[in-house]
Each structure stands twice: as C-alpha cells, then as structure tokens.
Structure 1
Amino acid sequence: MIQQIKRTKEGAIPTALGTVVTGLGIGMRSVNPALGWGIAGFGLAHVLLGAIDLVEHQ
C-alpha cells in the first residue's frame, strides 16, 4: 500500500506543481512577456517530466 502511494506521488506532485507554475507564467505575460513565457516554459517542463513519471510507474 505504501509503495503504491509513493509511486503515485512521484509523478503527481511535479505534474500538479507544473500546472500551477504554467498558469502563473501565462498570467504574468501581461506584466513582462519574456519572464512570463520563461516561467510558463519551466512549468510545462515539469508537467512533461511528471507525466513521464506517471506513465513509467504504472
């Protein structure tokens, strides 16, 4: 049971965090477009890596 929870958290946390950071970056584009796109790209990278972890551990 503990192993199942650990495997789920391994990919879910970066995916959720990446989603929040991507939204933050998209929202910041109106203030500073370059910084906003940079933050959004960083968040999208986390979403991608978290999704890879989720697929690998199933």
Structure 2
Amino acid sequence: MRKGVVPIVLGTAVTAAGLSLLKMNHQRTAADNPYAWGVAGFGLAHIVLGTIDAVRDRY
C-alpha cells in the first residue's frame, strides 16, 4: 500500500463525520457548532498531510 493512503482515507471519514455533525440542530444555526468545525478541520488536516506524504513518496 502506498504511503499516505491511510491518512487520506481516515481524513475523508473524519471530515464526513464533522460535516454531518453540522447538520445537527443543537445550536441556533448549523454554522455555530465549533466542535463540528473542529472535527472537519482535523479531517482536512489528515487529507492534506496524507497527500503530502503520497506526493513526496512518489518523487
């Protein structure tokens, strides 16, 4: 398996979970949920770092 694939897949799953948390109506608006944005940002960071690993491993 290529280096960086696992963080990309993990980041995709975590980002999807964070975005689904934004749909929950616990706050006044969906954009007011800081935990959901934190989870989504954590997932996006995994995607970016996994992509850097995959590109660096290729060249």
TM-score (norm 1): 0.81
Separation in structure 2 between the aligned mates of residue 39 and residue 29 of structure 1, nearest angstrom: 10
Q: Give aligned-pair identity as a percent.
A: 43
**Could you list the runs of 4 or more consecutive aligned residues of structure 1 that deviate by over 6 angstroms after TM superposition?**
none
1:11 equivalenced with 2:33 (yes/no): no
Cross-structure match for 2:30:
none
1:52 equivalenced with 2:45 (yes/no): no
Cross-structure match for 2:42:
42
**Number of matched pairs:** 51
Cross-structure match for 2:16:
23
Which is richer in helix?
A: 1
Gaps of 5+ in 1: none
RCO higher in 1 or 2 (8 Å CA, sep ≥ 6)? Answer: 2
Deviation at 1:30, TM superposition (A): 2.9
